[in-house]
């Protein structure tokens, strides 16, 4: 058969997803496979069995990343496919697992058809992408790329008081394969979109051009406390009212900048007494954009609004920067390979920005990287209701297969 006619087996992929979903299954049909928990161990064991059944050597690195490399005809840097098997506590069956198991299906398809690539083809499941139990998200990929030391990772304490190093040993995944030993030629990750754009548009393939950057700000508004009954409405320095005006202006700010998101996630007022005009309001704002200039523009606009609204409201405002992660662009060449593969396989596709963080944004710092998104029904994720159809997985895995083959090169058909 011609390599161009090669397709993954949808039923086999779907079956594997079903089996993986039993590890950490919750009564509501969701999955709770928190990093390094007993359920995570069960999922890892199953994945390792599947890799060994393909005749692959499974490497566990020092932070528990699971890695298998299918040799190529040439001893060069591998094309690496990956994602994660951990979930949040209210997780679904697809976030992370879809990417890992689509990668497994790619390897199974090549093995079954006896296709040898020039470059080796690797598959990795990263430890603790979600950051739900140990709040350092993308932990395993950061260690893999040398952004966190192994010792730093081992010393991370979870919300339940456990240490990553101890839990790795407890579940039998404290490996000795050195982090940083592999420098991929390229990295590919298939993931559910976790947003509604592809589902709404009826487009099966999203090609991630950039992963969103974020700026987190905290605003402290100071007014004056006073009596709620005796203070005239035009003679107040109401911190809560000023803060609320700023928050209410966020949708307007977001709509003035392309692809901008702006969210107030925390809001508190003091003294918090029913009959006292608040003297203080503290709230956070999460600004996101995939374009660095636009993200900066959003922050600049926001700061100007805070000053304008607070002076109009007769209060003082102070802004603190809580965090900033710059947007990460994907590799333009890998993006166009994915795009041409989708075209050749007759799947409509669309370029897009990922609004969520992924291991791919860490890998993008060390090698050419891009992501393939498949539709999430109604844009729902981190929920038992998370769902992507078998057809969506099939399309995504076929694009993943042929993108990997183009990057790795085919030795013999």
Task: For the segment 318-377, give every residue that binds Zn ion (CB under 5 A).
Answer: none
Which residues between 93 and 122 bind Zn ion (CB under 5 A)? Answer: 95-96
Shortest distance (Å) from residue 198 CB to Zn ion: 16
Least Å from the CB of residue 191 to Zn ion: 6
CA dihedral of residues 145, 149, 150, 151 (deg, nearest 10): -170
Kindly tell me which of 56 and 374 has the beta carbon lying closer to Zn ion.
Answer: 374
- Select from 130, 197, 126 the least CA-distant residue to 353: 197
Residue 177 DSSP symbol:
B
Query: Which x/- pattern over 140-179 shows residues binding Zn ion (rule: CB under 5 A)?
Result: ----------------------------------------
Closer to Zn ion by Cβ: residue 134 or 283: 134
In the bound state with Zn ion, the residue whose beta carbon lies nearer, of 88 and 257, is 88
Q: Where are the beta strands (DSSP E) in 275-377?
A: 276-277, 280-289, 316-325, 328-329, 349-354, 369-374
Residue the block writes with tokens 């593969």? 341
396 binds Zn ion (CB under 5 A): no
Identify which of residues 124 and 317 has a Cβ nearer to Zn ion in the complex. Answer: 124
Burial of 249: CB neighbours in 10 Å, binned 0-12, 13-18, 19+ = middle
Nearer to Zn ion, 96 or 158 (CB): 96
Residues 212-271 touching Zn ion, rule: CB under 5 A, are none
Which lies closer to Zn ion via its Cβ, residue 95 or residue 394? Answer: 95
Residue closer to Zn ion (CB basis): 317 or 360: 360
- Beta strands 261-263 and 369-374, pairing class: unpaired
Tell me the three state secondary structure of residue 211: strand
Q: How far is the CB of 357 from Zn ion (least distance, A)?
A: 9
Which phi and psi angles does 64 have, rounded to 5°?
A: 85, 5
Give min distance, CB of 376 to Zn ion, in A: 11
Nearest approach, Cβ of 85 to Zn ion (angstroms)?
Answer: 10
Q: Please list every residue from 67 through 96 that binds Zn ion, using CB under 5 A.
A: 95-96
Nearest distance in Å: CB 174, Zn ion? 23
| CB closer to Zn ion, 8 vs 35 | 35
Contacts of 359 (CB under 8 A, 6+ apart): 82, 83, 84, 126, 129, 138, 140, 141, 189
Q: Smallest distance, Å, CB 394 to Zn ion?
A: 20
Nearer to Zn ion, 102 or 405 (CB): 102
Query: Shortest Cβ distance from residue 286 to Zn ion (Å)?
Result: 18
Q: Applying CB under 5 A, what is the total number of residues that bind Zn ion?
A: 2
Instruction: Give the contacts of 363 (CB within 8 A, at least 6 positions apart).
Output: 80, 82, 141, 144, 145, 184, 187, 189, 369
CB 359 within 8 A of CB 189: yes
Give min distance, CB of 100 to Zn ion, in A: 10
| 340-370: burial string, b at 16+ Cβ within 10 Å, e else | ebbeebebebeebbbbbbbbbbbbbebbbbb
Instruction: Report the distance separating Cα 242 and Cα 300, nearest Å.
Output: 19
Contact 139, 133 (CB under 8 A): no
Question: Where along the sequence are the contacts to Zn ion (CB under 5 A)?
Answer: 95-96
């Amino acid at each position: 058969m011609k390599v161009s006619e090669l397709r993954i087996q949808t039923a086999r992929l779907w079956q594997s997803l079903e089996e993986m979903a039993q590890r950490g299954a919750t009564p509501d049909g969701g999955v709770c496979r928190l990093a390094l928990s007993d359920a995570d161990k069960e999922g890892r064991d199953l994945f390792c069995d599947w890799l060994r059944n393909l005749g692959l050597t499974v490497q566990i690195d020092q932070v528990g990343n699971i890695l298998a490399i299918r040799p190529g005809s040439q001893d060069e840097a591998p094309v690496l496919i990956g994602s994660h098997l951990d979930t949040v506590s209210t997780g679904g069956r697809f976030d992370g697992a879809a990417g890992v198991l689509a990668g497994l299906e790619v390897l199974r398809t090549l093995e079954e058809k006896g296709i040898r690539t020039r470059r080796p083809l690797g598959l990795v499941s990263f430890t603790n992408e979600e950051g739900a139990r140990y709040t350092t998200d993308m932990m395993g990929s950061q260690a893999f790329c040398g952004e966190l030391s192994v010792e730093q990772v081992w010393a991370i304490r979870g919300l339940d008081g456990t240490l990553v190093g101890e839990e790795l040993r407890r579940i039998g995944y404290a490996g000795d394969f050195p982090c940083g030993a592999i420098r991929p030629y390229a990295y590919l990750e298939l993931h559910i979109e976790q947003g509604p754009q592809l589902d709404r548009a009826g487009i099966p393939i999203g090609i991630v051009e950039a992963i969103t950057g974020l700026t987190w700000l905290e605003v402290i508004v100071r007014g004056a406390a006073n009596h709620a009954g005796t203070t005239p409405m035009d003679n107040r320095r109401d911190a809560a009212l000023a803060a609320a005006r700023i928050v209410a202006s966020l949708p307007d700010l977001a709509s003035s900048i392309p692809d901008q998101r702006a969210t107030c996630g925390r809001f508190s007022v003091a003294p918090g007494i029913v009959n006292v005009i608040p003297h203080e309001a503290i709230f956070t704002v999460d600004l996101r954009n995939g374009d660095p200039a636009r993200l900066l523009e959003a922050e600049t606009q926001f700061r100007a609004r805070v000053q304008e609204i607070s002076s109009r409201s007769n209060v003082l405002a102070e802004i603190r920067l809580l965090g900033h992660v710059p947007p990460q662009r994907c590799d333009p060449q890998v993006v166009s390979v994915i795009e041409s593969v989708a075209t050749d396989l007759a799947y409509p596709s669309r370029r897009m920005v990922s609004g969520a963080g992924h291991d791919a944004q860490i890998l993008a710092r060390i090698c050419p990287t891009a992501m393939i998104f498949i539709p999430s029904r109604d844009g729902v994720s981190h929920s038992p209701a998370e769902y992507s159809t078998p057809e969506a997985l099939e399309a995504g895995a076929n694009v993943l297969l042929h993108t990997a083959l183009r990057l790795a090169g085919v030795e013999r058909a």
